[in-house]
């Protein structure tokens, strides 16, 4: 491992901590932004003293003009990114500020991609397909989940084919990210659980990925420990700033880790569920995680045994295989404790779709770093196990 060469990517400036949102106006001005499009949704726009209100107040204070696009949808669609582009051109905007969770950031990135790299984003799915830089982009994050405010990924759904695809490029990385945990206080329990489990999966998958390295390992380990010690509390008591702060630290660490060590079958398969049934991404990930990792376990039992220990399990006296199995048990327990249901049946999955979804999952950009190489039949079996789960 030590002799392998790798690069390490993240935004060059990352604001973190309670109250940092007040600095956004000043930073936008420093970047020369004169009229950004604020990419968000109506719910966040109308939240009293929420992330959008505080962003706009800070921009006004710094004398930066703006225009708001408030139609972001969960699992953002191609029409969303086209609408942002149209507004940007009509209003003579010069930059983008995304305010929200992964859906807002990916909508902003997607719009930036088609502004400078050609109108048909489906042709740009894949790795390092972008030739030209995006307009300047700042990401203000409001969920402790996806890490999209830091990553080179833009995940978009083609509403005609129901296929969710990923454009992965260093050019997608926001110039600046903001993570202010006060913006995440009182997020509803279900959303805290789903986004927190997404961050958890984004720490587990790069830890066992074929592309892991010592830097990403340390990020994954710390992210998993932080999530183990704070996600249950953040769900139980949404107003606990300490738990929210630890969850943001964890999601940033996981985001940096997977930005560089990549993901695996959980995400490749979750994209199929999200595209097909428009289901929340974090829930899709949580429901698939134990079954995909049970499948992966034989590829590196030592690493899975280590995962169990990182999650606080006592593996003294156990064989490596038994210790590794404990990590799967601990994953299921975390998901159950935060109230995620058990089966992909609950998000509308249908066995007759598994064949095509398995075929597409194996083509998803995230599949290539999975530690065990599977066939279509293997993936169908994992979907079926996640369906039969009780
Ligand atoms: P989201 O952005 O879809 O938001 C879900 C809902 O939460 C929205 O209705 C939103 O209004 C609400 N919300 C957001 N912040 C809130 C707050 N502070 N308080 C109350 N409500 C709030 O959710 P997400 O899980 O952050 O993003 C999921 C999307 O991100 C999926 O499309 C997924 O595929 C994608 N994703 C992207 C990456 C990446 O690196 N680009 C990584 C993982 C996932």
Considering only CA atoms, which of 2, 185, 24 is closest in space to residue 95?
A: 24
Q: So what's the pLDDT on residue 7? A: 87
Q: So what's the pLDDT on residue 255? A: 98
Token code pair at residue 69:
């696009």
Q: So what's the pLDDT on residue 350? A: 98
Instruction: Tell me the CA–centroid distance for residue 117 and ligand 1, in Å.
Output: 25
Q: Is the pLDDT of residue 186 over 90?
A: no
Atom 16 of ligand 1: nearest residue by CA position? 142
Q: So what's the pLDDT on residue 5? A: 86
Q: Is 64 in the pocket of ligand 1 (CB under 6 A)?
A: no
Domains and CATH numbers, the chain: 13-183 (3.40.50.1970), 189-388 (1.20.1090.10)
Q: Is 102 in the pocket of ligand 1 (CB under 6 A)?
A: yes
Instruction: Tell me the CA–centroid distance for residue 61 and ligand 1, in Å.
Output: 28
Q: Give me the residue label for tokens 């929420």.
A: 50
Q: Is 179 in the pocket of ligand 1 (CB under 6 A)?
A: no
Q: What band does 351 get if pLDDT is binned at 50, 70 and 90?
A: very high
Average confidence score pLDDT of the chain = 97
Average pLDDT, integer, range 359-371 = 96
**Shortest-distance atom of ligand 1 to CA 188:** 20
Q: So what's the pLDDT on residue 229? A: 97
Q: Is the pLDDT of residue 4 over 90?
A: no
Q: Is 177 in the pocket of ligand 1 (CB under 6 A)?
A: no
Are 292 and 269 spatial neighbours (Cβ–Cβ below 8 Å)? yes
Instruction: Tell me the CA–centroid distance for residue 281 and ligand 1, in Å.
Output: 8
Q: What band does 18 get if pLDDT is binned at 50, 70 and 90?
A: very high
Q: So what's the pLDDT on residue 370? A: 98
Q: So what's the pLDDT on residue 37? A: 98
Structure ipTM = 0.99
Q: Is the pLDDT of residue 2 over 60?
A: no
**Shortest-distance atom of ligand 1 to CA 274:** 34
Considering only CA atoms, which of 139, 149, 229, 141 is closest in space to residue 181?
A: 141
Mutate which of 21, 44, 45, 101 for ligand 1 pocket (most atoms within 8 A of beta carbon): 101
**Shortest-distance atom of ligand 1 to CA 50:** 18
Q: What band does 251 get if pLDDT is binned at 50, 70 and 90?
A: very high
- Rounded to the nearest 10 degrees, the angle between the axes of helix 265-277 and helix 354-361 is 130
Instruction: Tell me the CA–centroid distance for residue 89 and ligand 1, in Å.
Output: 26
Mutate which of 51, 178, 281, 364 for ligand 1 pocket (most atoms within 8 A of beta carbon): 281
Q: How far are the Cα atoms of 8, 131, 253 from residue 116, in angstroms, in the given order?
A: 24, 9, 30
Q: So what's the pLDDT on residue 182? A: 98
Output the DSSP codes for 38-87.
Answer: EE-BHHHHHSTT-HHHHHHHHHHHTT---EEE-B--SS-BHHHHHHHHHH
Q: Is the pLDDT of residue 166 over 60?
A: yes
Write out pLDDT tens, residues 96-109: 999 999 999 999 99
Write out pLDDT tens, residues 231-240: 999 999 999 9
Average pLDDT, integer, range 303-327 = 98
Cα–Cα distance between 202 and 196 in angstroms, integer?
10
Q: Is 143 in the pocket of ligand 1 (CB under 6 A)?
A: yes
Q: So what's the pLDDT on residue 358? A: 98
Q: Is 156 in the pocket of ligand 1 (CB under 6 A)?
A: no
Write out pLDDT tens, residues 43-85: 999 999 999 999 999 999 999 999 999 999 999 999 999 999 9
Q: Is 167 in the pocket of ligand 1 (CB under 6 A)?
A: no
Q: What band does 329 get if pLDDT is binned at 50, 70 and 90?
A: very high
Average pLDDT, integer, range 12-31 = 97
Atom 23 of ligand 1: nearest residue by CA position? 101
Atom 30 of ligand 1: nearest residue by CA position? 102
Cα–Cα distance between 104 and 74 in angstroms, integer?
8
With 0.95 as the threshold, say if the pTM is over it: yes
Atom 31 of ligand 1: nearest residue by CA position? 75
Q: What band does 6 get if pLDDT is binned at 50, 70 and 90?
A: confident
Q: What band does 142 get if pLDDT is binned at 50, 70 and 90?
A: very high
Q: What band does 303 get if pLDDT is binned at 50, 70 and 90?
A: very high
Q: Is 174 in the pocket of ligand 1 (CB under 6 A)?
A: no
CA 295 to chain centre: 23
Residue 79's Cβ-side half-sphere holds a number of Cα atoms within 13 Å equal to 6
Instruction: Tell me the CA–centroid distance for residue 272 and ligand 1, in Å.
Output: 17
């Amino acid at each position: 491992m030590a002799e392998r060469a790798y690069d390490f990517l993240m935004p060059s400036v990352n604001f973190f901590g309670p109250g940092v949102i007040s600095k956004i106006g000043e930073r936008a001005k420093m970047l020369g932004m004169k009229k950004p499009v604020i990419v968000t949704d109506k719910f966040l726009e109308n939240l009293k003293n929420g992330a959008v209100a505080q962003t706009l107040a800070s921009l006004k204070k710094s004398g930066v003009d703006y225009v708001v696009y408030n139609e972001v949808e969960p699992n953002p669609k191609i029409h969303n990114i086209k609408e942002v582009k149209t507004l940007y051109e009509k209003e003579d905007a010069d930059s983008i500020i995304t305010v929200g969770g992964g859906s807002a950031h990916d909508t902003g990135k997607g719009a930036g991609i088609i502004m400078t790299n050609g109108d048909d984003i489906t042709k740009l799915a894949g790795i390092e397909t972008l030739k030209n830089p995006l307009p300047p982009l700042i990401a203000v994050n409001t969920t402790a989940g996806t890490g999209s405010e830091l990553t080179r990924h833009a995940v978009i759904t083609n509403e005609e084919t129901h296929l969710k695809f990923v454009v992965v490029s260093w050019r997608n990385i926001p110039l600046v990210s903001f993570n202010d945990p006060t913006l995440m206080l009182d997020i509803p329990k279900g959303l805290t659980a789903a986004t927190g489990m997404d961050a958890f999966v984004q720490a587990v998958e790069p830890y066992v990925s074929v592309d892991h390295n010592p830097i990403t390992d340390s990020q994954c380990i710390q992210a998993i420990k932080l999530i183990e010690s704070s996600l249950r509390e953040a769900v139980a008591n949404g107003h606990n700033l300490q738990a929210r702060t630890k969850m943001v630290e964890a999601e940033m660490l996981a985001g940096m880790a997977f930005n560089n060590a990549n993901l695996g079958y959980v995400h490749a398969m979750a994209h199929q569920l999200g595209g097909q049934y428009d289901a929340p991404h974090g829930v899709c990930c949580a429901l698939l995680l134990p079954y995909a990792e049970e499948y992966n376990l034989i590829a590196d039992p030592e690493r899975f045994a280590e995962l169990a220990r990182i999650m606080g399990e006592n593996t003294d006296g156990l064989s490596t295989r038994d210790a590794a199995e404990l990590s799967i048990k601990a994953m299921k327990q975390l998901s159950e404790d935060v109230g995620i249901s058990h089966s992909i049946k609950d998000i509308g999955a249908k066995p007759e779709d598994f064949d095509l979804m398995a075929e597409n999952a194996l083509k998803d950009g995230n599949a290539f770093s999975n530690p065990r190489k599977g066939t279509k039949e293997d993936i169908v079996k994992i979907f079926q196990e996640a369906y039969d789960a009780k």
